[in-house]
Structure 1
């Protein structure tokens, strides 16, 4: 491949080799770079001398793919858990179906605007979608609960109950949407590296919040008017296991609610207790903020370990290479290691 170098030496898995570093330019896509390198090396490998192999020792694509897959799994798990919790409290499949429909509609709409703004599917945008699931479900549940209350207390049909409920909660939905958007949007306009890092996260979450509100004002009311029906329960009928379970759950929840109301009455009667508790929380928060370590982004496992070896001044390349060989022997016993590369002659 070229002339022998007496100033540096490279070993890969105990054998002589050469190393090539590919640096990513600002604004480039690491996944696209890795795919292009793989294609180029596969094409070049056809012309390598016999016995010469190529290895890609480290790339950001693998760690990013693993992290993105984990967030995708979290997204699916969050959707399933939300569906279960909503069904547990609403105790009606038709009512549960409305928030379940609202979530994918909001996510699909968010993907459309991500495409419009040139955003990619990455760790930050996927994390924003995970957070958005709770917000989307909240908006849909507010609509369903309000319509349920009208149907149960005023005995209105689904359509009339929906119109009556929406006339009361429309203002609240719009106001909470504006408040939450006002929290996240300024993050996207921050300057410097922080703004660049969090811009897609902030805008993706804000877009999901706005689409969630649009769903709550349009799609969810339409679905409640179509899906919801009055529940006529015959007390003489033998209860199924599901009905018995819900009776027990409701009894326990009502007991917990009554205890909460008792605690609330106590705090209202003795306001100084609530004020003292708030003061303790504020002071504790201030102390913890000062003591908590700060940083730009948390460290993560990227799948490689770099060891720096410093030799005494005047040590020859051969001496450094021998020490690297000794270190390779010790590290070779590690079961978790896949590839070892040693570089000597570099500062």
Structure 2
């Protein structure tokens, strides 16, 4: 064959080819992104609109329906999911998997902006984000200070931290848990209003009319031009208290005459605690198509950078990180890949009985693996559990080609008494087409998987292509590098063995000879009884089929991801104080797990992710896998402890990577 012939005749050429594959493969490997699974998440864009004080039915008719009607005609939409609740509308739009998320978000913004004038003026401007409205937080950062109150922490976070974390590539939004934003609170005195013939509407109109900052044109004086503005914005409680809201005959009615004005917060009905201590949380939600590992890594780097510049007594802590499980899983697969290479090399040594012969597959297999990264990078794939699993499974296939070539070279040296150079030339040429045929058959098995449709097809496409690419490179290496190395490394065959392991290798050979002889006797016995063999084969196939029917099936196996969530829901209309009492009780029942070391971090949040006061959430971060019981056992125990809480429904669960 041309490949093997050229490689044996021109060893420098074969070496340069392999070195180029290694160099390009390592460069591609360094640029491959890391994630848990192949990217099968569809592009999702969400719209959120706050309408303070409005009921769910009003939000539905005045906001949700108007926006839904306008965005329904956008191209590539799979479905639209909306949710209207008191004071807020959330609309999620899922697009076809091949839709560019940036273009989709721009189309949604254009459609939403065209109906902005039809929305109530009291509602906040719609916010469009490249993430599902119900997406989970991938990273919780706790923000605490010894010298600041919760409103001060919230103000600092909103002014200096939220924008910094929002600017990270792949971040959709930042949730501020336990936030208490500053606000001027006006407590109206109904009797004082009635005595002066005023209503709450009069106070609201006065506040809107007087508390303004507006442009006032320009003032030109000779060569100088000044830009003017009207600044009547109020900044202190005293400014608000002295606001004139009405004028009688000879007297003025000020706000302080009919109300009590104080600086407070927009809403005190929020709670965020970590292991029982009140704090403010920064929750990072990634974009629907973003890489969890990359986003988490960038956020943690920014956290470390910001910690060096924060005011004295202030600190940002990492409380929950969903990327830890992903990185640990991938490390385990890398370890498995390394063990597979070592075991394969050891088995080759035991069967071939020569260090020199073993060196060749020990070199060619890693070269094939490294070269595969070139294909992964070229096709835009990632390093994930499935591509690494494909490499682990491919190790056994990769070594096949090298062994076929080596065994034939070794046989020709032993039986034909050829020199290593001649045996390498003739041996590789003799089995070259067999190696290529085997490779094509294996590729033909895996490549059709890429034609599968839906999420399953997208999930296993990278798996199939990785194996096919690895097998293809192994065939190329077996016909180029393997015969070249054999011609240089192997020595002429000798009947006697020498060296420190000669006795051990001779013992292995004797054992293998006995196994071969035993197999020959069994084979001869079975060949004489074809009917019995056929019946036994049919029985095994039938039994396997019946057992297969009884197997349970699921999309993906359950995983212990190192953390779980508890969703707590009270009856409709339940107050924050009602939920706080039950969340305190749940926290009290879970704190013993932190003391025993099974739970390292316990986060309590109310209102929950749904936003209603009758909801709450608990995030439990478990200790390392080796230092605790299985997560399912802990979760079942906690669910049993919460089952006797009569006024709420609480259920602990662990979200899975593939759902």
Length-normalised TM-score, structure 2 = 0.49
Partners in 2 of 1:51 and 1:326 — Cα distance? 31
Tell me what 2:537 maps to.
Answer: 278
Tell me what 1:89 maps to.
Answer: 351
1:276-335 Cα shifts (integer Å, max 9, x gaps): 221122112212322222122222121102223344555432232222222222222221
Q: Which residue of the other structure, out of 368, 376, 384, is the alignment partner of 1:122?
A: 384
Tell me what 2:490 maps to.
Answer: 228
Structure 1 residue runs of 4 or more that deviate by more than 6 Å after TM superposition: 46-50
Matched residue of 1:306: which SS? strand
Partners in 1 of 2:305 and 2:496 — Cα distance? 74
Deviation at 1:143, TM superposition (A): 0.7
Q: How does 1:322-341 map to 2 (within 5 A)?
A: 322-334=581-593, 335-341=597-603
Q: Which residue of the other structure, out of 131, 138, 141, is the alignment partner of 2:393?
A: 131
Q: Residues 233 and 47 of structure 1: is their aligned pair in 2 closer, same or farther, counting only changes over 3 Å?
A: closer
Partners in 2 of 1:191 and 1:21 — Cα distance? 35
C-alpha contact 2:413 2:493 (8 A) present in aligned 1: no
Q: Residues 244 and 204 of structure 1: is their aligned pair in 2 closer, same or farther, counting only changes over 3 Å?
A: same
Matched residue of 2:604: which SS? strand
C-alpha contact 2:397 2:471 (8 A) present in aligned 1: yes
Moved more, 261-270 or 301-310: 301-310
Deviation at 1:14, TM superposition (A): 0.9
Q: Residues 49 and 9 of structure 1: is their aligned pair in 2 closer, same or farther, counting only changes over 3 Å?
A: farther
Deviation at 1:15, TM superposition (A): 2.2
Partners in 1 of 2:543 and 2:269 — Cα distance? 58
Deviation at 1:78, TM superposition (A): 1.3
Deviation at 1:56, TM superposition (A): 3.6
Would you say 1:60 and 2:318 are equivalent positions?
Answer: no
Deviation at 1:166, TM superposition (A): 2.5
Partners in 1 of 2:574 and 2:556 — Cα distance? 38
Would you say 1:288 and 2:550 are equivalent positions?
Answer: no
Tell me what 1:158 maps to.
Answer: 420
Matched residue of 2:465: which SS? helix
Partners in 2 of 1:37 and 1:149 — Cα distance? 59
Q: Residues 276 and 51 of structure 1: is their aligned pair in 2 closer, same or farther, counting only changes over 3 Å?
A: farther
Q: Residues 342 and 245 of structure 1: is their aligned pair in 2 closer, same or farther, counting only changes over 3 Å?
A: same
Deviation at 1:98, TM superposition (A): 0.7
Tell me what 2:286 maps to.
Answer: 24
Q: Residues 183 and 60 of structure 1: is their aligned pair in 2 closer, same or farther, counting only changes over 3 Å?
A: farther
Tell me what 1:33 maps to.
Answer: 295
Tell me what 2:575 maps to.
Answer: 316
Partners in 2 of 1:58 and 1:172 — Cα distance? 54
Matched residue of 1:333: which SS? helix
1:204-225 Cα shifts (integer Å, max 9, x gaps): 1111110001111111111112
Partners in 2 of 1:62 and 1:221 — Cα distance? 44
Highest relative contact order (Cα 8 Å, sep 6+), 1 or 2?
Answer: 1
Partners in 1 of 2:282 and 2:317 — Cα distance? 10
Deviation at 1:135, TM superposition (A): 1.3
Partners in 2 of 1:164 and 1:45 — Cα distance? 67
Tell me what 1:107 maps to.
Answer: 369
Matched residue of 2:540: which SS? helix
1:8-54 Cα shifts (integer Å, max 9, x gaps): 53322212334444333233222221123224444555786765543
Partners in 2 of 1:188 and 1:95 — Cα distance? 37
* Structure 2 gap segments, 5+ residues each: 1-153, 155-180, 182-264, 609-614, 616-659
Aligned CA RMSD, in angstroms, stands at 2.3
* Structure 1 gap segments, 5+ residues each: none
Moved more, 191-200 or 31-40: 31-40
Deviation at 1:233, TM superposition (A): 4.1
Would you say 1:197 and 2:197 are equivalent positions?
Answer: no
Matched residue of 1:54: which SS? strand
Moved more, 163-172 or 83-92: 163-172
Structure (1/2) with the larger strand percentage: 2
Q: Residues 307 and 27 of structure 1: is their aligned pair in 2 closer, same or farther, counting only changes over 3 Å?
A: closer
Q: Which residue of the other structure, out of 178, 193, 197, is the alignment partner of 2:440?
A: 178
Would you say 1:73 and 2:301 are equivalent positions?
Answer: no
1:97-123 Cα shifts (integer Å, max 9, x gaps): 110110121122112222222222222
Partners in 1 of 2:559 and 2:528 — Cα distance? 49
Count the aligned residue pairs: 344
1:217-266 Cα shifts (integer Å, max 9, x gaps): 1111111122222232458xxx6652221222222211111111111112
Matched residue of 1:298: which SS? coil
Tell me what 1:98 maps to.
Answer: 360
Partners in 1 of 2:398 and 2:516 — Cα distance? 25
Partners in 1 of 2:431 and 2:454 — Cα distance? 40
Q: Residues 177 and 144 of structure 1: is their aligned pair in 2 closer, same or farther, counting only changes over 3 Å?
A: same
Deviation at 1:87, TM superposition (A): 0.8
Tell me what 1:242 maps to.
Answer: 501
